Chains A and B, each alone.
Chain A
Amino acid sequence: MSFDNPWIHGLVMGLILANVALVITGYSIWFERKFAGRMQNRPGPSVVGPWGLLQPLADALKLLQKEDIVPRSADRALFNLAPPLTVFCALSALAVVPVGPGVIVADLHIGILFALAMGSLTVFPVWMAGWASNTKYALLGAMRSAAQSISYEIPLLLSATVPIILADSFRITDIVNAQLGGKWFALWPPGPGIAAFALFFLCSLAEANRIPFDIPEAESELVSGVSTEYTGMKWGLFQLAEYLHTFIISLVATTLFLGGWDGPGDNDGIIWMAIKSLTLFAGIFWIRWSFMRYRADQLMAICWKFFLPLGLVLVMLTALWVHLI
């Protein structure tokens, strides 16, 4: 039994990476609150621990202590199953994302498809939660979520097809290796690469229900959307899944378009992966705190009238590029 055994390797790596991702997610919430505070002329969390660093722990403790309420009219089994399932789906996508050279849980040959599939599977637990809550707001939120996820799935996959064509592989490690030495797909080929990166980034925001595409949550209209009836740690799991999803999106976008762990010169390593993905992650927060949200029908219009044709054109251009050069 050595570390080369895929089972052992997967188990150890999975444990490490999942925990690292969860800690980063917890601290991203602290970072986001601090960041939002700075944007809004207030200090943000500053009481619990130095610079409010223990705030995520305090939040988790508070959520754990809260009364766990299940509405009488809710479908109890589905209601309780939905929050862990969202976290499961979000975390599963992490399995195929290489964080550094060799630092990967399972190097699947269809890695990128698996990651996107797991990301889009979250629509099931979300719909499950909306249906099982037996509340009108939750139901509306779940319907919006389903429509949004299914629509944005298509341009997301189309934009991910660009690096797949360029690297000639579905394996994310191969995609990163093709970019080593500064040949990032976001920069090269000029044109389709950066456009595909932008498209992937925007569609991922929609997939993860982030502003300006967070209409399933839309707390000004739907109170809290899908998570309206959830309390305590179950609600916390929804939030955790959302942030995890956002984090994994940043990782995937980095590997697909920004060269993964490729650094300047020969300085490749996990540190570059961390810098790039966390910058993207912070960019998502920045967008969140400066934009309002679109309306549901406008969101669909953007997807079907603009993103989808753009994705198709990008795939064709990339195919042409590969064919000619």
Chain B
Amino acid sequence: MSLHATPHPKDTVKWTTVGGVRVPVHLLIPNLPDPFMDIEDYEPDADLMVLNMGPQHPSTHGVLRVKLVLDGEVCVKVTPYLGYLHRGVEKLCEKLSYVQITPIVDKNDYVSPMMNELAINMAFEKLIGAEVPRRARYIRTICAEIQRLGSHLLWLGTFGLDMGGAIGGGGSIFMHTFRERELLLDLFEDLTGCRFHYNTHTVGGNRHDIPAGWAAKATQVLAVISKRCIEYEDFVRGNKVFQARTVGVGIIDPVLAIDLGISGPVLRASGVDVDLRRDQPYAAYDEIAVNVATDPGGDCFSRYVVRVDEMRESIRIATELLAGVPEGPICSLKPVKLPGAVKAKHGQGVYSSIESPRGELGTFVVGNTVRRQSAIPYRCKIRSPSMHLLQLLPYICPGNNISDIIVTLGSLDPIMGEVDR
């Protein structure tokens, strides 16, 4: 799937082992310090400056705080601090019934709410043993792919902002990708009545059926975006400045990525061929072939390549599924009138995961066997891919410029709502 215009520098990069982890040797600091070193152990004579980037900073993608120890403008040590957006979603889930949880988790990964709904309802269905009708599975898959496309479009825009600034070339990419995202949000509005926090998935199926003419409209929109993806490629991939800023920046070793639990496009951009849509099919993915985009480079440019390939793949999958949506019911359970109508029958834990635009979005749910509380989960743990992504920062950022840290952070595409939950 690789469509490289420029060769990757992976073979020219020297690697070293620090604290049992393989990391690239950087040109700016030949002796890369340990990511977790005591800063006192760095050169005692160096004039170091501590810069707290965030939680209020235009490019930290929300309220991430990154403590940078700078030697001049080169970063020596990076410590990400999380928790500024903690809302206690998992605890809240233990107080709400199964059907009430969906609108809460919508706000986790606020760039792709459909994915959150799908993930949590799949876990509930597994716990309760509810079947999902084939039509609902198709609708879910189509929504998931359109949402993935929308999420990657937003990523491409903000990645441009990270590199070019809001007042400049980056802003132009941002505006163009948002024009396309707007079309997708319109599609979701037609389908669910909401532009953003849909609350359309429910235990046992979907709430909203496809309206008349929606499939044709969606196919048309996807065709338009498919054409415009080529424009982005012209605008971004061939841009010398873009290449200078991304090629060879923020290289992630596949072994390190697997050790830290990285998944999704970032892992695939390091050359690991893993995709839950293909390896562990859910919804309607067992009925369609998924071509997994991978790239061996491991740098920011590879992550761009993988995401753009995934955008094209999403357009293809959604278009093919839209052509053959089967007839039938969209929910296997009766429409829920009361919150307590859906009950768990056992107190065991189940885990189910999906491939969200950022990686493996898993949900671990334990049912409650106390009779009067059987409509609420005992425990609901959400495994968010973004939180694992941020753990990469101490390994891949030291030795880079501040500018590169921003670009690296942007290329990981963390969503703070999902990190802190």
Binding site for B on A (CB under 8 A): 36, 39-42, 136-137, 140, 143-144, 211-212, 214-215, 217-223, 288-298
Give complex CA distance A212, B170 in Å: 11
27 CB-based A-B contacts, threshold 8 Å: A36-B172, A40-B175, A42-B175, A136-B49, A143-B73, A212-B169, A217-B165, A218-B403, A219-B165, A220-B161, A220-B166, A221-B59, A288-B168, A288-B169, A289-B171, A290-B235, A292-B163, A292-B165, A292-B170, A292-B241, A293-B165, A294-B241, A295-B403, A296-B73, A296-B401, A296-B403, A297-B401
- The reply to whether A293 and B164 form a contact with Cβ atoms under 8 Å apart is yes
Give complex CA distance A39, B171 in Å: 10
Give complex CA distance A39, B172 in Å: 7
Q: Which residues from chain A contact B239 at a C-beta distance below 8 Å?
A: 291-292
Q: Which residues from chain A contact B176 at a C-beta distance below 8 Å?
A: 40-41
- The reply to whether B179 and A41 form a contact with Cβ atoms under 8 Å apart is yes
Interface size class of B (residues with CB under 8 A): 20 to 34
Give complex CA distance A292, B235 in Å: 11
Closest 8 CB pairs of A and B: A292-B164, A40-B175, A292-B163, A291-B169, A211-B168, A220-B59, A295-B403, A292-B169
- The reply to whether A140 and B165 form a contact with Cβ atoms under 8 Å apart is no
- The reply to whether A41 and B175 form a contact with Cβ atoms under 8 Å apart is yes
- The reply to whether B169 and A211 form a contact with Cβ atoms under 8 Å apart is yes
- The reply to whether B49 and A220 form a contact with Cβ atoms under 8 Å apart is no
A-side binding surface: helix, strand, loop or mixed?
Answer: loop
Q: Which residues from chain A contact B58 at a C-beta distance below 8 Å?
A: 219-220, 223
The yes or no answer to B57 lying at the interface (CB within 8 A) is yes
The yes or no answer to B402 lying at the interface (CB within 8 A) is yes
Q: Which residues from chain B contact A217 at a C-beta distance below 8 Å?
A: 165
Q: Which residues from chain A contact B169 at a C-beta distance below 8 Å?
A: 211-212, 288-293
Q: Which residues from chain B contact A219 at a C-beta distance below 8 Å?
A: 58, 165-167
- Nearest CB of A to B314, in Å: 23
Give complex CA distance A269, B353 in Å: 72
Give complex CA distance A185, B179 in Å: 44
Q: Which residues from chain A contact B84 at a C-beta distance below 8 Å?
A: none
Q: Which residues from chain A contact B166 at a C-beta distance below 8 Å?
A: 219-220
- The reply to whether B244 and A294 form a contact with Cβ atoms under 8 Å apart is yes
| Minimum CB distance partner of B241 in chain A | A292
Which of B51, B235, B242, B406 is within 8 Å of A220, CB to CB? B406
Q: Which residues from chain A contact B164 at a C-beta distance below 8 Å?
A: 211, 220, 291-293
Give complex CA distance A267, B73 in Å: 53
Give complex CA distance A218, B161 in Å: 10
